[in-house]
Chains A and B, each alone.
Chain A
């Protein structure tokens, strides 16, 4: 089997409901290896639910998620944590925890009974902190950090997990412009320099277009479209998925599609 061609993660016919309300409807999505895949869509479309299902935080009612062909439902918690890392939407930890203590937690799925802290753990810790530029903050309490610094620390924790796949659930919602860019540039670096497969839920469509290799539009629990940003960022598709009349131009700096919303459309059916 050609390893490059096979999707890293394969979502197959996933159906999931909260109680009686269906959230994901028979959804299938292959996620390419070594690429940055961004899930985008209007509020309540199910993009976060999809991410959570990919990371097995939620069990689907039917369908499966395959990781390199293996059904993730069969993996144990720590095994899965060694394969797929997750940055939660609103993570929290005690304010008096130090940066180093928090990043250390990323090593939890690797720690064996016999050797709670091995040289590999130490190495992963150092490289994670160095990679996110928080090494000089290691003894600081996380309660004393700024929003941008804190987000880098959380990413460092996920990095320390040394997973090939990283999921991030709306990682820049609460950050200011500078830190949004800093965070996403960091994520892209992880992808480019270390070849990690990244699955990202982003609220801002333009950021999504800028950073995605594979862009996915989710609408009402189904995949509306999936492909390169240039392919998806069209007036018609954006109108259909987001209910917004928009003009698409090419961002002169990054050579990526840029969406300029003109006006919201009234809902039809």
Chain B
């Protein structure tokens, strides 16, 4: 790592510009690629209002929404991961550890199990599934905090409560999936693996409405993040009440995760990897780190979705495949090197 002041100062802005460019490129590719390839100039034309009807339909109603939800969900998970890693001072923390995703999965499975008739068709629109996921996620968060009580101020205790709740949720999910027939099981399994599905603008609106206040909150608390690098006493010394702040951040991260997984399911490892890569690229600056994490999360999910659409068409392999396959070796690599932070 260079210690020259000039390069250090330029690192964050340069990195962000690079990431932004990569994001735009991937978004455009995500729209251009699919069962039919639409050249980039025509994509641009459609977005600007021109282009022929079929292309308009494909781009605006099918592909663009899908890419947009991937950006939002991927970015949201990445932010959640960034916050969790900062506040637990541990690079192994990720949104999956709080039991949120398992709670959401349970919500989905209960939804599918309760609201199917004997012919295994859903009696309500599948559009309600994300709502079930969100409810399950929030119920899990609430349960974890409720059970933890005063112990919530300790990172590891909170994680342990999360694990216990997650285990129970997973077990019940498993039983429900077994009782039900294959249709529901496949549906649920696909959700659990994490997949970017066809989505309409109305649903994106819902996600955006939920996501925007969350992101605003993140920006607000961002300036309180630097002292989290310190031990608890010193942090208190400069005026940050770490235990209380930690609870707030956990709740915020859980909320972001819940919103993100509602529509795309339990896409793994984005929340784990994105903050790391952000740190590698732009360094320690908190604000730059947040933006970079969001961009990287978006890039990862859009990219993963792109890969599965192109490589596995017409089979609908969930995007979670790719993130898991990349995430696994990366996680192992993470574990191998000496952790320079605490624990």
Binding site for B on A (CB under 8 A): 55, 57, 77-82, 85-97, 101, 104-106, 108-109, 111, 113, 116, 139-140, 143, 154, 157-158, 161
Contacts and interface: CB of A to CB of B under 8 A. Distances in A.
Nearest to A95: B340
Given A96-B340, A97-B284, A101-B284, A91 B230 contact: yes
Contacts of B238: 81, 105-106, 108-109, 157, 161
Interface of B: 3, 5, 8, 89, 223, 226-227, 229-231, 233-234, 236-241, 284, 340-342
27 contacts: A57-B233, A77-B241, A80-B239, A81-B238, A81-B239, A86-B233, A86-B234, A86-B237, A87-B237, A88-B233, A92-B230, A92-B234, A92-B342, A93-B230, A93-B231, A94-B340, A94-B341, A97-B229, A97-B284, A104-B226, A108-B227, A109-B239, A139-B3, A143-B340, A154-B234, A157-B238, A161-B238
B234 A78 contact: no
Across the A-B interface, the 8 shortest Cβ-Cβ residue pairs: A81-B239, A86-B237, A109-B239, A78-B239, A88-B233, A92-B231, A108-B238, A91-B234
A108 B223 CA distance: 9
A111 B226 CA distance: 12
A143 B240 CA distance: 23
Contacts of A154: 234
B95 to A, nearest CB: 22
A113 B239 contact: no
Contacts of A87: 237
A139 B8 contact: yes
B230 A105 contact: yes
Nearest to B237: A86
Contacts of B227: 105, 108
B279 to A, nearest CB: 10
Given A80-B239, A81-B238, A86-B236, 6 more contacts: A89-B233, A94-B341, A96-B340, A108-B240, A157-B234, A161-B238
A62 to B, nearest CB: 22
A213 B236 CA distance: 28
Contacts of A94: 89, 229, 340-341
Which of B5, B8, B226, B241 has the most A CB atoms < 10 Å from its CB? B226
A57 B236 CA distance: 7
A82 B341 CA distance: 28
Given A93-B230, A105-B227, A88 B284 contact: no
Given A55-B237, A77-B241, A82-B239, A113 B223 contact: yes
B223 A116 contact: yes
Contacts of B237: 55, 81, 85-88, 158, 161
A209 B231 CA distance: 30
Contact of B231 (A79, A91, A111, A113): A91
A89 B231 CA distance: 10
A54 to B, nearest CB: 12
A93 B229 contact: yes
B229 A105 contact: yes
A141 to B, nearest CB: 9
A118 B226 CA distance: 17
Contacts of A55: 236-237
A79 B3 CA distance: 35
